[in-house]
Amino acid sequence: MKFKREDLFWALLTLVLFVAGYIFLRLAYHVADQLPFSQEWVLIVLGTLVTITLTALLLNRQTETELKKEERAKFLELKTRIYFELLDHIQEVVIQGRTDETEAKRMRMLSHKLAIVASPEVLQQYQRFLTVYHHNLRNRELDAGETEQIMDELARLTLRIRTDILGEAAGDDTLGREETDRIILATNDIYDEQDMH
């Protein structure tokens, strides 16, 4: 966790308050010895000041945590939306079986959006996907074999996207990464077999 100037300010303020309170308490106890209930009033004032300072510090920390949490939720929402835009666009191209100049521009814009939000693993897999995608669409038409290559590479990309969105749960009873990869790729192979018949 980073130590910020605001944290330093609150730490110094608390330290100064305690030191000043201790000095004040020592002096006030000796001066207030003769007056009834004066020592109790000094303790009440000091207790109130310490309570106010600690409450302000805790509220500040809680607000900061809530803002970070909200920021992460919005970023995850943006990331998910861009991933689904990409998948929807690839779906359109594969269904149509062809591409044109507009599609190429749209794919380039989606690549720029992806570069902003994607994890390094997703970007690496996306690079491999793009290599296969562009190689198979060089004549702007897709045959069954080319579509199959694109779908296989898309399945791998989808795995990385899934990992990026959901994260890896450490230490629970979920399937491992390799097992999940195998299941999703096997599902893709089942569709391949159905398409052949």
Instruction: Kindly state the percentage of the chain with pLDDT values over 90.
Output: 11
Tokens 């080319």 sit on residue: 146
Give per-residue pLDDT as tens, 127-140: 888 888 888 877 77
Q: Identify whether residues 152 and 92 lie together within a single domain.
A: yes
Mean pLDDT of 88-115: 86
Q: Identify whether residues 37 and 81 lie together within a single domain.
A: no
Interatomic CA distance for residues 69 and 58, integer angstroms: 16
Is residue 141 helix, strand or coil? strand
Q: Identify whether residues 140 and 62 lie together within a single domain.
A: no
Tokens 């995850």 sit on residue: 76
Sorting pLDDT into bands at 50, 70 and 90, what band is 157?
Answer: very high
Give the pLDDT of residue 104.
81
What DSSP string describes 87-134?
HHHHHHHHHHTB--HHHHHHHHHHHHHHHHH--HHHHHHHHHHHHHHH
Q: Identify whether residues 92 and 54 lie together within a single domain.
A: no
- Residue 138's closest CA among 150, 124, 126? 150
Q: Identify whether residues 28 and 114 lie together within a single domain.
A: no
Q: Identify whether residues 149 and 168 lie together within a single domain.
A: yes
* Domain termination residue (choose one: 68, 88, 105): 68
Residue 12 in this model has a pLDDT that exceeds 80 = yes
Interatomic CA distance for residues 144 and 131, integer angstroms: 18
The two tokens of residue 91 are 């779906």
Q: Identify whether residues 33 and 89 lie together within a single domain.
A: no
Q: Identify whether residues 14 and 97 lie together within a single domain.
A: no
Q: Identify whether residues 97 and 171 lie together within a single domain.
A: yes
Give the pLDDT of residue 36.
64
Give the pLDDT of residue 105.
87
> How many domains does the chain divide into?
2
* Domain termination residue (choose one: 13, 44, 68): 68
- Alpha-carbon dihedral 69, 72, 73, 76, rounded to 10 degrees: -160
Q: Identify whether residues 97 and 192 lie together within a single domain.
A: yes
The two tokens of residue 131 are 């290599």
Amino acid identity of 176?
Answer: G
Q: Give the domain range for residue 132.
A: 74-196
Give per-residue pLDDT as tens, 46-83: 788 878 878 887 888 888 889 999 998 899 999 999 99
Give the pLDDT of residue 175.
52
Return phi, psi of residue 98, to 5°. Answer: -155, 170
Sorting pLDDT into bands at 50, 70 and 90, what band is 87?
Answer: very high
Give the pLDDT of residue 77.
92
- Residue 43's closest CA among 66, 26, 62? 26
- Residue 54's closest CA among 104, 10, 99, 118? 10
* Domain termination residue (choose one: 17, 40, 68): 68
Return phi, psi of residue 12, to 5°. Answer: -65, -40
Eight-class DSSP state of 35: S
Q: What is the pTM of this model?
A: 0.62
Q: Identify whether residues 188 and 143 lie together within a single domain.
A: yes
Lowest mean pLDDT among 6-20, 25-39, 52-66, 130-144: 25-39
Q: Identify whether residues 192 and 126 lie together within a single domain.
A: yes
